[in-house]
Structure 1
Amino acid sequence: MDQLVKILFVLVMMLSLWSFDPSENGEKEPVLDLAKLNLIGSVDERFQSINVEMCEVVGGQFWVPYHLIDTARVKKEGLAALKRKIDPINLYNPKLRKLTEALGPMYIRVSGTWANTTYFQNDDSPKLAKAPEGFENVLTRNEWKGVIDFVNDLDNQLVTSFAISKGIRDEKGNWTPAQIQPLLEYTRAINGKIAAAEMFNEPSHASYGGAPEGYDPAQYARDFVAFSTYVKREIPSMKIMGPGSTGEGGILGEVHEMGTDKILAQNPKPGFEIFSYHYYGGVSNRCRGNLSPADALSQEWLSRTELGLEYYENARNKYLPNAPIWLTETAEAACGGNPWAATYIDTFRYLEQLGRLAQKGVKVVMHNTLAASEYALLEQYTFNPRPNYWAALLWGKFMGTKVYRSPYQVEGLDIFIHSLKNSKKGYTIMVVNPTEKESSLNLSSSAKQYTLTADELLGKTVKLNGKELKLNADDSLPELSGVNVEKGTIKIPALSTVFLTIEGL
């Protein structure tokens, strides 16, 4: 009998352990209560936007794919051997248009270093074989009309920058509207509109970007007076952005002669209506960067976008405290991105960057590029979606303009909460799990769950709720179907991003 009592006692103890409730030990799992969210800000309705490089529009020398790099030629010729001639992008391609429209509405930024030295050929003659003196590239009417139609037909808005090379200047080296004027007149003639523009692309690297020799902050300030005077008189509806610099604050090395601080300390101070900056977390292997896939999931890497913002935010606060801040060019790494920028592993950087910057008050983020090089959302020429395209599609479908702070955090998870897009009442919770450990979230409401995963971190195939995401036979997008989940504990798989949509709250 004593032996039977002992056995029963052991069984009772085992059952009590199996049914142990952490709340009985003061460790109850916290609940993400949507009734207790704090609104911390808002973003532009076109927060997620994209770049189409001017080089893509006119055709020119852009980054060579890794598998085509000739190492012997690189040793001999340097940077020149890392680029190849690309054809102008066909902005009328039905597949490209369909996939771009699904991400919108967006800002389409047509700029990049090439824009600094591009000559607008304001006639309908065949394209010049060589740019006029003082320029390096030629933009035709037909190519620019393709841009305007691409923007207008897809309910997007155009952002750009203008030439600043020797070709636009008078005999004393001063800025003139010699190029901006015909471009704007033609834009109006074909029912186009430029929503916002930078005077030129990345003045922080002016010496590499086609600026006249010896260009300095004082010259920038003089140019800006002439530029802004012209804009306010001729196109007052166009917002002036700037400076559009990059790499400062120790992210890509130090910038000295044309640092943002020096530009903004001039008298008169350039008065940007929108404070813009560019961000790349590092330089790609193509240009001898030392990043590796091992970096791609670290908190240091995922949070570096906030470090990149810090320098420019401080400059904005000091010189132009009321100006909204936009990130007008960003991607995985400078020089076309690393090979893994085209794989699933970079979706964590892409989505975390959007989530983190929205929380920090950045109003717009423009990803580089739509369809050129490894960091593009779409494969060049075929326009097949890469993993980051699917990540962008999910963000664009669910994440609204109101930004909230999560009332609590879960170790290993990064939680971002927005209003539910296109809904008067509702929320979207984006939960990023960049770790190799499954986690969970205790939610106060039922929801629809959309889980993005992949079988291979460095692969190009991704799944939504376990089903491979791919285009239909007619190149249309598949239906993005969610799974109904009840309130309570929700599993967050390892190496996944989960979108939880809640309506009616």
Structure 2
Amino acid sequence: MTNIPLVRTVDERYQSFQIGMSHLTGGETWRTYDDSKGEGEVGQAEQFEAVREARSPANLAHPRLRTLAGALGPFYVRFGGTTTNAVYFQNNDEPRLETPPKGFLTVLTRKSWKGALEFAEAVDAKIVTGFTVSDGVRDEDGTWTPRHAAPWLNYTHSEGGAIYAAELFNEPNAPEPGRMPEGESAKHYARDFAIFSQFMAKHAPDVKLAGPGVATLGVPVKVPSLEHTSPEQYMTANPRPNFDIVSYHFYGAIAERCAPPDSPAGVSADQALTESWLARPDQKFQEHKSLRDTYAANAPIWLTETGAAACGGTRWQPTFLDSFRYLDTLARLAKQGLDAIITHALISGSNGIIDEKTFQPNASYWAALLWRRLMGTRILDAGSGSDGLHIYAHCQRNNTGGVTVLAINLQKTEAKLSLSGYPHHYALTARELNSKTVMLNNRALLLDQHDSLPAINGVERKTKQVSLSPSSINFLVIPEAANPACQ
């Protein structure tokens, strides 16, 4: 590990998270599995009602949430999702409107947005968001106007807040019942983005503009509803959008609320540790990287919304089983050239790394915490690994010359790994793969009675050949590696 070459350097906030706009506004979102019904294929609007439920706005000031999120900082926090497309910003201090004005679907109050700004500041997060694009902000010709974005920005500035990056549209290629059954056309998107760009250049020139933010899936079958307009059409439409950040969304499959797990579009727990499942992010990233290289060569590329499965996540996503995908995706895309990845979600019912109802950590929270503490911004070339044993390496965070190896053992048998130094071993396992309780070196990771995080310590190994338990995630830190790329 003394001479592993440098591949590239990644954003300090590479590992980032989404808090859905619905957590600020309240309103409908995906029903959690412990209270679900009518799951299966969804083909008509009325069937969506069976898999969705109303939520109250989340308490982003909750001390436990602040503790957990603060330990992951710095990161980007995206207040986004489909709700953003039709949100009404209530620019007064009156009680929340019971019914949103015509052309809008939900209401964002000053109080809720101020809470979002305060949350971001408290946990060292820079804000990424979108702006309303529904009929409520369009003129008689259907053209987007900034009449809603202007007061929203003005209020943000008046509270001392800042937006780091903004997407005009959440998933312009994705159908939305009502106004856009086939999504937004590339022609109309380009027209509206030009107006948006001019407005932002005048009123918020420091905000980076991201796009096109299209929805993509990793399923091995065509999804006609997402294929009316290609990402390239959005990037090349006239007038051609000038993106500061090239963004896209990706989900590996469709969750069982909307597609049976054994269908081509679905995913089952039996697939969770397979090579084919873990490799699904690669193709869409490479496609967007190629588009970035062609049409916006100097722009970073961000995955601004991602998770295991669209339609609110898999039934097993809160368990240790999904921690393998979570970390493997972070590591493999960082090495390939991704600049930031925004996981959906920080808090959510089935796909949050923190449970939205209890604010207790789900299993992937501990994976995220160890990544944050141990994996630095300099990515090293640890080779290609092998089927069943994925190996990645970064410079150790906050230790000059140190190296951290991430070794993911997907196999049901023990694996061996030879190192060039004596490591501090952080081994994540679980008694059952579908458990929410994660073990660090055979000790359960739990908050204490005061909601303080447990000690996160590795075991010093006295050998350079390390045993990796079956179905385990291992961070192997070599502080004395003296790697020149990590100086």
**TM-score normalized by the length of structure 2:** 0.93
* Displacement of 1:387: 0.6
What residue number does 1:64 align with?
31
**CA apart distance, 1:72:** 9.3
The CA deviation at 1:339 is: 0.8
Q: What is the rounded CA distance, in whole Å, between the counterparts of 1:244 and 1:209 in structure 2?
A: 21
1:202 matched to 2:171? The reply is yes
Partner of 2:275: 299
Quote how far apart the aligned CAs of 1:292 are: 0.8
Match of 1:253 among 210, 223, 227: 223
Seen in structure 2, the aligned counterparts of structure 1 residues 181 and 213 have a Cα distance that, compared at 3 Å, is: farther
Structure 1 residue 423: deviation in Å?
2.1
1:203-256 CA-partner distances (Å, limit 9, x unpaired): 111545955988421111110110001111111110000011111686662433
| One-letter amino acid matched to 2:250 | Y
Contact 1:164/1:211 (CA < 8 Å) preserved in 2?
A: no
Once residues 351 and 23 of structure 2 are traced to their aligned partners in structure 1, the CA distance between those partners, rounded to angstroms, is: 14
- Could you tell which deviates more after superposition, 158-167 or 367-376? 367-376
Match of 1:216 in 2: 185
Show the 5 A alignment for 1:343-354.
343-354=319-330
Q: Structure 1 residues 214 and 468, CA, compared in 2 at 3 Å: closer, same or farther?
A: closer
Pair 123,408 (structure 1): closer, same or farther in 2 beyond 3 Å:
closer
Q: Does 1:284 align with 2:251?
A: no
Provide the rounded CA distance (Å) in 1 between the counterparts of 2:155 and 2:58.
Answer: 20
Match of 2:402 in 1: 426
CA contact (8 A) 1:217 1:257 kept: no
1:145-224 matched pairs, under 5 angstroms = 145-208=114-177, 211=180, 215-224=184-193
Larger Rg: 1 or 2?
1
Matched, 1:120 2:74: no
Structure 2 residue aligned with 1:435: 411
Pick aligned residue for 2:4 from 28, 32, 37: 37
SS of corresponding position for 2:29: strand
What is the match of residue 445 of structure 1?
Answer: 421
Determine the C-alpha separation between the residues in 2 that align with 1:501 and 1:194.
35
Deviation at 1:260, TM superposition (A): 1.2
1:411–1:71 distance in 2 versus 1, CA, 3 Å = closer
Relative distance call for 1:411 and 1:330 in structure 2 (3 A) is: closer
Structure 2 residue aligned with 1:54, among 14, 21, 24? 21
Is 1:107 aligned with 2:76?
Answer: yes
1:370 is the counterpart of 2:374: no
Give the aligned partner of residue 140 of structure 1. 109
CA RMSD of superposed structures (Å): 1.9
CA contact (8 A) 2:353 2:363 kept: yes
CA distance in 2 between partners of 1:437 and 1:362 (Å): 32
Aligned to 2:236: 265
User: Relative to 1, partners in 2 of residues 1:434 and 1:361: Cα closer, same or farther, differing over 3 Å?
Assistant: same
Runs of 4+ in 1 over 4 A off after TM superposition: 72-76, 208-214, 248-252
CA contact (8 A) 2:218 2:281 kept: no
Partners of 2:174 and 2:182 within 8 A in 1? no
Measured in 2, the distance between the counterparts of 1:351 and 1:209 equals 37
Q: Alignment partner of 1:340: what SS?
A: coil
Residues 129, 152 of structure 1: alpha-carbon distance in 2 compared, 3 angstrom cutoff: same
Q: Deviations over 1:327-347 (max 9, x none)?
A: 110111111111111111100
Please tell me the residue identity of whatever aligns with 1:329: E
Alignment of 1:385-464 (within 5 A): 385-407=361-383, 409=385, 412-464=388-440
Q: Is 2:41–2:257's contact at 8 Å kept on the other side of the alignment?
A: no
- Contact persistence 1:386–1:460 (CA under 8 A): yes
Q: Give the Cα–Cα distance (whole angstroms) in 2 for the partners of residues 146 and 224 of structure 1.
A: 28
DSSP 3-state at the match of 2:170:
coil
Match of 1:460, SS state, is coil
Which one-letter code corresponds to 1:56 in the other structure? H
When structure 1 is superposed on structure 2, of 156-165 and 306-315 the one drifting more is: 306-315
CA-CA distance at 1:503 after TM superposition = 1.7
- Contact 1:410 1:441 survives alignment (8 Å): no
**SS of the residue 2:212 aligns to:** strand
Q: Paired residue for 2:485?
A: none
1:129 to 87, 98, 106: 98
**CA deviations over 1:269-323 (Å, ceiling 9, x no partner):** 1111110111100000111242111100000001111123122222222222221
- The worse-fitting range, judged by mean Cα deviation, of 335-344 and 253-262 is 253-262
Q: Structure 1 regions of 5+ residues with no counterpart? A: 1-33
TM-superposed CA distance for 1:259, in Å, is 2.1
Q: Distance in 1 between matches of 2:213 and 2:304?
A: 7
In 2: Cα distance, 1:324 partner to 1:491 partner = 38
Label 1:380 to 1:72 Cα distance change in 2 as closer, same or farther (>3 A).
closer
* Cα gap change, 1:481 to 1:123, in 2 (>3 Å): same
Once residues 202 and 182 of structure 2 are traced to their aligned partners in structure 1, the CA distance between those partners, rounded to angstroms, is: 29
**Structure 2 counterpart of 1:88, which letter?**
P
Q: Structure 1 CA distance, aligned partners of 2:154 and 2:237?
A: 31
Q: Distance in 1 between matches of 2:272 and 2:29?
A: 25
CA 322–365 in structure 1, closer or farther in 2 if over 3 Å, else same: same
2:212 to 243, 248, 263: 243
Judged with a 3 Å threshold, the aligned counterparts in structure 2 of structure 1 residues 332 and 212 are, in CA distance, closer, same or farther, namely: closer
* Aligned AA (1:275): V
Deviations 1:449-475 (A, max 9, x none): 100001101111110001111111101
1:262 CA drift (Å)? 1.4
| CA deviation after TM superposition for structure 1 residue 171, in Å | 2.0
Taking structure 1 as the reference length, the TM-score comes to 0.90
What is the rounded CA distance, in whole Å, between the counterparts of 1:416 and 1:192 in structure 2? 37
2:311 to 308, 322, 335: 335
Structure 2 residue runs without a partner (length 5+)? 262-266, 483-487
Question: Share of identical aligned residues, percent?
Answer: 39
CA distance in 1, matches of 2:384, 2:169: 43
- The answer on whether the counterparts of 1:249 and 1:311 sit within 8 Å (CA) in structure 2 is no
The aligned amino acid for 1:253 is V
Q: What letter matches 1:140 in structure 2? A: T
Q: How many Å apart are 1:84 and its aligned residue?
A: 0.4
Q: Is the 8 A contact 2:438 2:445 kept in 1?
A: yes
**Quick check: 2:139–2:145 contact (8 Å CA) kept in 1?**
yes
